[in-house]
Structure 1
Amino acid sequence: MIDFDRISEVALNQTKSLGATYADLRVVHTRDESIRMKNGIPELIDRSESLGFGIRVIVRGCWGFASSCDLNPENVNRVSQLAVKIALASSKVKKNDLVLSPVEKIVDTYQTPIQIDPFKISLKEKLTYLLSLYDLTKKISGLRSFESFMDFREQKWYFASSGGSKIEQRIIQSGAGISALAMRSHREMGRRSYPNSSGEYQTRGYELIEMLKLEENSERVAEQAKALMDARTCPSGIKTIVLDGAQVSLQVHESIGHPLELDRVFGAEKNFSGTSFATVDRLGKLKYASDMVNVVTDPTYPSGLGTFGYDDEGVKAGKSYLIQNGVLVGYLTSRETASMIGKESNASMRAEDWGDVPIIRMTNTNLLPGKHTLTDLISEVDDGIYMETVSSWSIDDNRESFKMGTEIGWEIKNGKLGEMIKNPTYSGNTTEFWNSCDGICNEKHWKVWGTPNCGKGQPAQNMRVGQGASPCRFRKVKVGE
């Protein structure tokens, strides 16, 4: 049993006595379970746990951070001193004192609402289910492999600050997916995945596995992988494209979410994954997208992978606009960066684990639904391509020029889906592309897609985030090579 009150008392008292004008403590206990199966054979069964704490301080206007896995009060005292020493060393080369935007004192608890605790489901039951998915595809000739997986995470998070906040959270995340590979040679191959190329992740319990209905999609995925070997290649030219929700979610992630991280805008990511074209002088002015495009950051949305009660600065989760009627109106912020533009933080500061310093991360970056049906989007296209399921992505260091690819596509002729297309790709400029959006599907087609592997920072951190999206249509887009 963690004596959180005792640990926080030691850390906050020690840092204050050494001159810290602000301090916070995070204690994080993470439990993971991962299962991977290939062709009916378990390839990975991994269970792990991690427990430790991190301390942030502000001394002489600069940050200091230190962490440890030893929660003994004497060691907490030592690590507190180390955090202060690091801040003092940083203060010798500072340009300006940092300022934090205000935050209310909070004493609260938050827990992911779940129906079935995934850690109470036996390993045998999980393996039996994954094996049954492979059994559904064994009769399909020409398959090189069929893979399936499940991932589960429980993270217990304790936070205390010198401002008087004390918060506890228990976050449960679950994920699963399947993929099939058909192959004659390195030139003749096809891969299909469901629900996406990285599966699907949400803040839910084991009920997510039941909701995904992998067993109802296994044969379809395998048959499509086989069919892709003989599909035509993606044509080159300028066409209208319709993207499925999964691909739109990636487009939101790479060309809206990352560019609007305010630390990136200010140059903190300059030597790793680039900066951003969406500079603060363009706030409220930049026509980022067409009028129908509205994007919010919303860590409160039920079951989103980026859903929580409070971020790692103790800021309460809430929804705020990033793009409204196509215009840039906001950023993802921390308390420090928000103060630099005269705003309050929108709860975007998170660390991967206890040993990592919090940085600005996406939560659920949601493109709000429109009014169309998928049939509407396709029926109004004379010559185009419908593209489905994330496959590849590349974007420049300023988050402007990009090239994306999907696993599969179908030509659109005279408002109807036609011939299958393999390896469809499209490219463009971020603002030109989003301004060409003239159709967004409605709530029936909308969901928050989970991204379990968003990388950022040095040292690198992995974060789990979500993007709400439904299928969208874009005009005059370059496709193919």
Structure 2
Amino acid sequence: MIQWSVLSSRTVEVALRGNSEEVNKNSSELRSVRVAGRRWGICSSSNGEFHELERNAARLAGGEGIKLSDAELAVGDFKMGKGSIDEVLALEILRDLRDNFSGLFEGIITFEECKREIRTSDGADAVETRIATDMNVSIAGRRVASIHTGVLGGIEELERKYELVLDELSSRFKALERAKFLNPFMRGFKFKVILSKESSCSFIHEIAHRLEGDLPMELRDGSALTIYDEPAGFGGYNFDDEGVLARKRKLVEDGVVICHLNTRESAFKLCEEPGNARGLFTIPKAFQTNLVVEKGDWSIEEMISETSEGFLAEGILRAEIFGEMIRISPELCWYIRRGEIQTPVLVNEIRIPASDALKRVVAVGKEMFERIGFEKGFPISEKSPPILIEATVA
């Protein structure tokens, strides 16, 4: 199988950093040919001819060998998001946010118009134009509070999130200013932890890494969590980077894994459906688009009232799987005692055994929160309600 691809992008970055106001622009176009042979052969260039790239990629690929699943391939023109960037308006939004705080402010608004063209020897022939805008803002006082948000569309769509960003950033900044370090005698013990906002989204993101079909890892059955991969959002697409039409897919149902994120190669091996391939200039990588957790019955107030001693986590500094442990470093935690919020505290890490992550879920909330981001250069997002888990606090 041979795939010919073109990726064109135009980016405008508007930034306000301290006493500096910046507008940076960039555009690029890359061509790629990928051949599935005895191994993957891939050649890309910003100005090379397709016939030269194809000849070199075929030489690298060798003979036949890699098996790919059948797939419903995309044909036609597709669009995601509409709008433009107004640099003056973007700077006004950032200035208005800055003027609400006394600390050191940094804000970046990035607009990207991206065009993907994919054609394959077995039938894909599609073009997608995607327009998205995201904003990353932080305010530094004694500690740093940050918010990252984004939309499919232009600056006008992003402006509608202004009040939400201001309220969230202000609330978190004030809490961080009075937060105390966690009592060292509490470190290393298990507690009930309510993961909320970015913290719950990060937890779901780390679970999804174990569902990547090209490197699936064990996830023992739980009971409470249902997770979808939904391509119609900030991190989505109409077709993946192998030209396979995108579909909503249920990955976990009531705590039980029923499907993986797949490329055509991993789908063939697992006898599942493809549609989650990322990367035009590398081996196709199985990866999420927009993860969505099915909301539960619990309000966050009920979760707090049912916690005799524990923590409510929000924001995210870092989340990763290290060894066999999911490690989440929240931006802020609230200490809970006898079912009531007590005081903001700083927690280094919340640790959950990765293979038991689904088993550790106690309850799922109602109020949805979306986190957007980029990983390996790919836009992604997660939508999750608060999740009550049992975890070790460090």
- Pick aligned residue for 1:241 from 175, 193, 218: 193
Q: Residue 86 in 1 paired to residue 60 in 2?
A: yes
Q: Is this contact kept in 2: 1:40–1:134, CA < 8 A?
A: no
Q: Residue 377 in 1 paired to residue 291 in 2?
A: no
Q: Is this contact kept in 1: 2:225–2:294, CA < 8 A?
A: yes
Secondary structure of 1:260's aligned partner: coil
Q: Is this contact kept in 2: 1:24–1:160, CA < 8 A?
A: yes
Q: Residue 227 in 1 paired to residue 178 in 2?
A: yes
Cα shift at 1:357? 4.5
The match for 1:53 is: 31
Task: Point out the structure with the larger strand share.
Answer: 2
The match for 1:392 is: 318
Deviations 1:303-353 (A, max 9, x none): x222110001111111222222211222111111111122231x11111xx
Deviations 1:25-62 (A, max 9, x none): 111111112223223532x5321111121111234x43
Of stretches 383-392 and 203-212 in structure 1, the one that deviates more from structure 2 is 203-212
Cα shift at 1:250? 0.8
Alpha-carbon distance change, 32 to 222 in structure 1, aligned in 2, over 3 angstroms: same
Q: Residue 204 in 1 paired to residue 153 in 2?
A: yes
The match for 1:18 is: none
- Pick aligned residue for 2:226 from 276, 294, 300: 294
| Correspondence 1:403-442 to 2 at 5 A | 403-442=327-366
The match for 1:365 is: 291
Q: Is this contact kept in 1: 2:263–2:284, CA < 8 A?
A: no
* TM-score, normalised via structure 2 length: 0.92
Structure 1 stretches of at least 4 aligned residues deviating more than 6 Å after TM superposition: none
Q: Is this contact kept in 2: 1:110–1:309, CA < 8 A?
A: yes
| Correspondence 1:173-212 to 2 at 5 A | 173-183=132-142, 190-194=143-147, 199-206=148-155, 207-212=157-162
The match for 2:392 is: 478
Deviations 1:156-184 (A, max 9, x none): 1111111232111011221113222223x
**Separation in 2, partners of 1:257, 1:439:** 19
Q: Residue 63 in 1 paired to residue 40 in 2?
A: yes
**Separation in 2, partners of 1:221, 1:464:** 25
Q: Is this contact kept in 1: 2:318–2:329, CA < 8 A?
A: yes
Cα shift at 1:384? 1.1
Cα shift at 1:423? 3.2
Larger-Rg structure: 1
Q: Is this contact kept in 2: 1:26–1:54, CA < 8 A?
A: yes
| Correspondence 1:72-83 to 2 at 5 A | 75-83=49-57
Deviations 1:370-405 (A, max 9, x none): 1211112111111111111001234224xx213221
Secondary structure of 2:90's aligned partner: helix
The match for 1:348 is: 276
The match for 1:126 is: 90
The match for 1:110 is: 78
Write the letter of the residue equivalent to 2:2.
A
Write the letter of the residue equivalent to 2:141.
A
Write the letter of the residue equivalent to 2:256.
V
Alpha-carbon distance change, 137 to 106 in structure 1, aligned in 2, over 3 angstroms: closer
Unaligned ranges ≥5, structure 2: none
The match for 2:265 is: 336
Secondary structure of 2:193's aligned partner: strand
Q: Is this contact kept in 2: 1:361–1:463, CA < 8 A?
A: no
The match for 2:69 is: 101
Q: Is this contact kept in 2: 1:52–1:70, CA < 8 A?
A: yes
Cα shift at 1:417? 1.0
Secondary structure of 2:316's aligned partner: strand
Cα shift at 1:421? 0.7
Q: Residue 449 in 1 paired to residue 371 in 2?
A: yes
**Separation in 1, partners of 2:235, 2:380:** 4
**Separation in 1, partners of 2:123, 2:9:** 25
The aligned length equals: 389
Cα shift at 1:238? 2.0
Cα shift at 1:356? 4.2
